[in-house]
């Protein structure tokens, strides 16, 4: 959600900033801007639209050894040039900000009554507030004093005309890191922005401030005490940025799933046993103690949570609740003592999930916290007792695909480890491990449906609505299919547990309503078949993704797509694939921006 990149160097930084913004565009893409300091003047370039639009404003004169840049996902104030960052106060202080300043109106009234604001954003007050304090203070003190007034979340980079060789940064609740180079240093909200220039990163913690020049980096804690933070080497590669011959990141990421799932189980299954050590050293205590599991997550990660709940209860007999983090956070909940908390998040920076975790950690009902996450250095991974990394590799497409299937894979490993003290016997563990190991090949075979699904999309893409049906652990897969379709093709799609159809939604079924069904060969197959008959009887058009042994045949009302998904618990992972492809091909036909769908951003770091 919004991206920041900044650099201080002995040479020109404009290209570094523009390339960094391009890599960060998936975090927000409604406007972009760059401020550079040249001949003691702050030059500010801002544009509505994507980074390419911003590039049109820059000519050869737009060069400098220091600059800050931003790509925006609007929260306060519509997407426009005026609301784009950087914001400048008094021609002296330029800022870029990610996050939300909750008390910006109070700050305006308390300190900035006579200031003229040029945007509708909450962020602009930061420029004026720092400018206000900088009149009587050194710039670092001014930023420190300003941040002490702020309630909310921020990752902030500040350029000060009177301190032309350094950038001042601050972090609280929004990710920010410093990249270390030779005679140049960088700042970004995401390591992906800088991986062309360095793989050495220092991750700032909440409350930290830092000054970054081409020659040195100084970090301070919330009391402005000089501190050291560890330098970490990133394993990201330049390849993460490339579409590798695919037309879109989303398609590349869909086809990366066999390898991503393989990497997620690699070294975690030994002789068909999943060792508890996959959870790291802090796990021993809570593994012995927990009685109940609570899972929190948002969006696609919440769908993974719902599948995990089915697995935990059905395979391991462990009571489990799964809830959307933003709901969980703001309601009183009755927690059973010795609850284990699992937080699922691809990015590990989702504000709703993080703030729920932080609230929960204040209570003593929880015996431990586990992050299932794709980014090892993320806030979530750092704040939980244990982290189970999904080895999906960076996911750039806003619509989550390989992150979801690797979450499910990691969650199955987790279910096995947690279940050993409950109902997961060595035989069941053996069988689940075998099933997990078949997944990469089975996903590959499922991907072979691609062309057939592209044909189906031709029928689908002119529809305005669609219904998705599933039962049991495949109901969350139907929900995920509906979310994917909505997100990138803008077709209104809803998912129902198939048994619910007759309790209301059947009323909207007619020949114009395409109904997608997920039909594994499992204990509720016959029930599902009856539900689908109810659709047929109302003239609804059916598109059934069915296991090849489920006994469905195409006819004039229904079209069947066969999947080789044996009757076993990992089947939901396989049924996800065709639904991703359906959403992708519909979006292509509709001509939407597949990787950057309207109004959305990859990592939602505001509540
Ligand atoms: O990074 P997270 O997994 O915490 O993100 C949660 C949701 O924002 C995310 O899954 C979102 O729903 C995706 N765009 C879905 O494709």
CB atoms within 10 A of CB 423: 13
Q: What is the signed CA dihedral for 224, 230, 231, 236, rounded to 10 degrees?
A: -110
The answer to whether the pTM exceeds 0.75 is yes
Q: Which overall architecture, per CATH, does domain 242-442 show?
A: 3-Layer(aba) Sandwich (3.40)
For residue 399, give the ligand 1 atom closest to its CA: 16
Ligand 1 centroid, distance to 602 Cα (angstroms): 7
For the domain spanning 448-607, the CATH number is: 3.40.50.10490
Is 478 a residue whose pLDDT tops 90?
yes
Candidate from 604, 605, 606, 607 with most ligand 1 atoms within 8 A of CB, to mutate: 604
pLDDT of 426? 98
pLDDT (mean) for 225-241:
86
Distance CA 176, CA 34 (A): 18
Q: Of 470 and 73, which is predicted with more confidence?
A: 470
Where does CATH 3.60.20.10 sit in the chain? 3-241
pLDDT, mean of residues 155-175: 96
Asked if pLDDT for residue 103 goes beyond 90, the answer is yes
The candidate with the shortest Cα–Cα distance to 240, out of 178, 179, 196, is: 196
Q: Which of 75-84, 135-144, 551-560 has the highest mean pLDDT?
A: 135-144
How far from 563 is each of 476, 545, 560, 575, CA to CA, in Å?
Answer: 18, 7, 10, 8
**In terms of pLDDT, which residue wins out, 587 or 378?**
587
Over pLDDT 70: what percentage of the chain?
Answer: 100
Query: 301, 587, 599: which to mutate for ligand 1, most atoms within 8 A of CB?
Result: 301
- Of ligand 1's listed atoms, the one at least distance from the Cα of 604 is 8
**Mean pLDDT computed over every residue of the chain:** 93
Q: Which atom of ligand 1 is nearest the CA belonging to 484?
A: 16
Cα–ligand 1 centroid distance for 61 (angstroms): 40
At residue 108, the 3 state secondary structure works out as: helix
Q: Distance, CA 553 to ligand 1 centroid (Å)?
A: 35
pLDDT at 348 (0 to 100): 94
Rounded to the nearest angstrom, the distance between the alpha carbon of 345 and the centre of ligand 1 is 7
Mutate to test the pocket of ligand 1, among 295, 308, 350 (most ligand atoms within 8 A of CB): 350
pLDDT at 314: 97
602 a catalytic residue: yes
In the chain, pLDDT over 90 holds for what percent of residues? 77
Q: DSSP readout, 185-237?
A: EEEESSGGGTTTT-SEEEE--TT-EEEE-SS-EEEE-TT--EE---EEE----
Catalytic annotation, pick one of 2, 298, 384, 586:
2
Residue 204 has pLDDT above 70, yes or no: yes
- Please state the rounded mean pLDDT for residues 85-92: 96
Q: For position 554, what pLDDT does the model report?
A: 92
What is the band of 153 on the pLDDT scale with cuts at 50, 70, 90? Answer: confident
Q: What CA–CA distance (Å, rounded) separates 177 from 187?
A: 6
The pocket around ligand 1, CB under 6 angstroms, is made up of: 298-301, 345-347, 350, 353, 398-400, 487, 603-604
CATH superfamily of 3-241: Aminohydrolase, N-terminal nucleophile (Ntn) domain (3.60.20.10)
Polymer length in residues for the chain: 607
Q: Maximum Cα–Cα distance for the chain, whole Å? A: 79
In this predicted structure, what is the pLDDT of residue 1? 63
Ligand 1 centroid from CA 378, angstroms: 15
* Higher-confidence position of 565 and 400: 400
What is the average pLDDT across 237-247? 83
- Has residue 27 got a pLDDT over 80? no
**CA of residue 596 to ligand 1 center, whole Å:** 13
Range in 128-132, 155-159, 172-176, 389-393 the model is least confident about? 172-176
**What is the bridge-based pairing of β-strands 184-188 and 200-203?**
unpaired
- pLDDT at residue 268, rounded to an integer: 95
Question: Which residue ranges does the chain devote to CATH 3.40.50.10490?
Answer: 242-442, 448-607
Q: How far apart are CA 216 and CA 230, in angstroms?
A: 15
Question: Quick one: pLDDT at residue 335?
Answer: 83
Q: By alpha-carbon position, which residue is closest to atom 11 of ligand 1? A: 299
Tens of pLDDT, residues 295-335: 999 999 999 999 999 999 999 999 999 999 999 988 888 88
Annotation marks residue 2 as catalytic: yes
pLDDT in tens, 505-551: 888 888 889 999 999 998 888 888 988 888 888 888 899 999 999 98
């Amino acid at each position: 959600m919004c991206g920041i990149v900044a650099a201080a160097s002995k040479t020109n930084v404009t290209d570094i900033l523009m390339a960094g913004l391009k890599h960060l565009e998936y975090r927000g893409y409604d406007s972009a801007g760059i401020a550079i300091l040249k001949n003691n003047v702050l030059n500010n370039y801002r544009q509505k639209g994507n980074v390419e639009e911003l590039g049109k404003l820059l000519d050869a004169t737009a060069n400098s050894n220091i600059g800050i840049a931003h790509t925006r996902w609007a929260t306060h104030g519509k997407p426009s040039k005026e609301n784009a960052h950087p914001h400048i106060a008094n021609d002296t202080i330029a800022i870029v900000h990610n996050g939300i300043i909750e008390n910006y109106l109070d700050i305006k009234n308390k300190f900035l009554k006579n200031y003229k604001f040029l945007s509708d954003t909450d962020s602009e007050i930061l420029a004026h507030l720092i400018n206000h304090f900088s009149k009587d203070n050194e710039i670092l003190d001014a930023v420190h004093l300003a941040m002490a007034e702020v309630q909310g979340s921020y990752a902030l980079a500040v350029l000060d005309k009177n301190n032309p060789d350094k950038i001042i940064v601050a972090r609280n609740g929004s990710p920010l890191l410093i990249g270390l180079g030779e005679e140049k240093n960088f700042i970004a909200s995401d390591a992906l922005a800088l991986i062309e220039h360095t793989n050495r990163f220092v991750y700032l913690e909440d409350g930290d401030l830092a000054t970054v020049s081409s020659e040195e980096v100084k970090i301070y804690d919330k009391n402005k005490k000089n501190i050291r933070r560890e330098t970490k080497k990133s394993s990201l590669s330049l390849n993460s940025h490339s579409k590798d011959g695919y037309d879109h990141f989303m398609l590349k990421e869909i086809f990366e799933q066999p390898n991503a799932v393989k990497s997620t189980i690699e070294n975690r299954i030994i002789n068909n046993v999943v060792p508890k050590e996959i959870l790291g050293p802090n796990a021993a205590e809570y593994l012995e103690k927990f009685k109940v599991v609570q899972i929190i997550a948002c969006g696609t990660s919440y769908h993974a949570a719902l599948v995990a709940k089915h697995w935990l209860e059905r395979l391991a007999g462990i009571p489990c609740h799964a809830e959307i983090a933003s709901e969980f956070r703001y309601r009183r909940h009755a927690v059973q003592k010795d609850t284990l908390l699992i937080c699922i998040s691809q990015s590990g920076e989702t504000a709703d999930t993080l703030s729920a975790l932080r609230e929960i950690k204040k209570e003593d009902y929880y015996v431990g916290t586990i992050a299932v996450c794709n980014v090892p250095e993320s806030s979530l991974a750092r704040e939980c007792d244990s982290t189970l990394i999904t080895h999906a590799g960076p996911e750039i497409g806003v619509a989550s695909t390989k992150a979801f299937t690797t979450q499910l894979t990691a969650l199955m490993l987790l279910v096995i480890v947690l279940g050993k003290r409950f109902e997961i016997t060595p035989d069941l563990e053996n069988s689940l491990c075998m099933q997990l190991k078949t997944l990469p090949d089975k996903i590959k075979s499922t991907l072979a449906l691609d062309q057939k699904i592209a044909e189906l999309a031709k029928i689908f893409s002119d529809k305005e609505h669609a219904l998705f049906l599933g039962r049991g652990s495949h109901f969350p897969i139907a929900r995920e299919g509906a979310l994917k379709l909505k997100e990138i093709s803008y077709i209104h799609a809803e998912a129902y547990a198939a048994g619910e159809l007759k309790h209301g939604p059947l009323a909207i079924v007619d020949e114009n309503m395409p109904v997608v069904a997920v039909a594994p060969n499992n204990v509720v197959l016959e029930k599902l078949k009856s539900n689908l008959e109810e659709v047929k009887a109302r003239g609804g058009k059916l598109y059934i993704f069915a296991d090849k042994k489920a006994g469905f045949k195409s006819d004039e009302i229904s079209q069947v797509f066969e999947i080789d998904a044996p009757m076993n618990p990992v089947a939901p992972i396989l049924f996800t694939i065709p639904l991703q492809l359906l959403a992708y091909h519909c979006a292509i036909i509709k001509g939407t921006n597949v990787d950057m769908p309207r109004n959305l951003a990859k990592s939602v770091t505001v509540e």
